[in-house]
């Protein structure tokens, strides 16, 4: 039986490898292309291999570490709050627009931290929402509402 000396690194490595394998599976149907003429599957596969490689390095370092760390403790409350905030974002996006839902995402997910401060979370959420709107709606022209529907919702 292998002794896991760094449980956080071990589980993070396994998670990276799982995401990498999932990315490989989902991108397998896309054409690969070449380095000079990349197909739709080129970038996802490169990222997938990087995730798998990085995860393998983390797993091996966790197994071969010299010192033993404390047992990992799962904190379910922050996990639930962050998961809820992402679900809330996806549910309210079409009604409240990108700026407001990004602000809500940051506010709700920041509440998961014991170092939560309203003022910092509000400023960060507002800046993130405006930056996301500038990048995705204006820069990349992705058709999504930038503001709430009752304010016109448009860009």
pLDDT of 23: 92
Q: What are the structural domain ranges in the chain? A: 7-64, 76-148
Distance, in Å, from the CA atom of 8 to the CA atom of 63, rounded to the nearest integer, reads 11
Listed residue (88, 94, 106, 85) closest to 150, CA to CA: 94
pLDDT tens, 84-129?
999 999 998 888 888 899 999 999 998 888 888 888 989 999 999 8
pLDDT tens, 135-154?
888 888 888 888 887 776 55
Total-model pTM: 0.56
Does pLDDT of 66 surpass 70? no
pLDDT of 131: 92
């Amino acid at each position: 039986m292998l002794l896991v000396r760094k449980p956080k690194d071990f589980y993070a490595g396994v998670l990276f490898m799982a995401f990498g394998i999932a990315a490989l599976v989902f991108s397998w149907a896309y054409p690969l292309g070449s380095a000079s003429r990349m197909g739709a599957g080129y970038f996802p596969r490169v990222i997938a291999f990087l995730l798998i490689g990085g995860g393998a390095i983390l797993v091996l370092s966790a197994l071969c570490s010299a010192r033993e760390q404390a047992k990992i403790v799962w904190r379910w409350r922050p996990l639930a709050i962050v998961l809820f905030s992402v679900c809330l974002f996806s549910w309210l996006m079409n009604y409240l627009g990108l700026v407001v839902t990004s602000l809500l995402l940051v506010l709700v997910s920041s509440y998961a931290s014991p170092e939560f401060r309203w003022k910092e979370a509000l400023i960060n959420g507002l800046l993130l929402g405006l930056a996301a709107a500038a990048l995705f709606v204006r820069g990349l022209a992705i058709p999504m509402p930038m503001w709430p529907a009752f304010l016109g919702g448009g860009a």
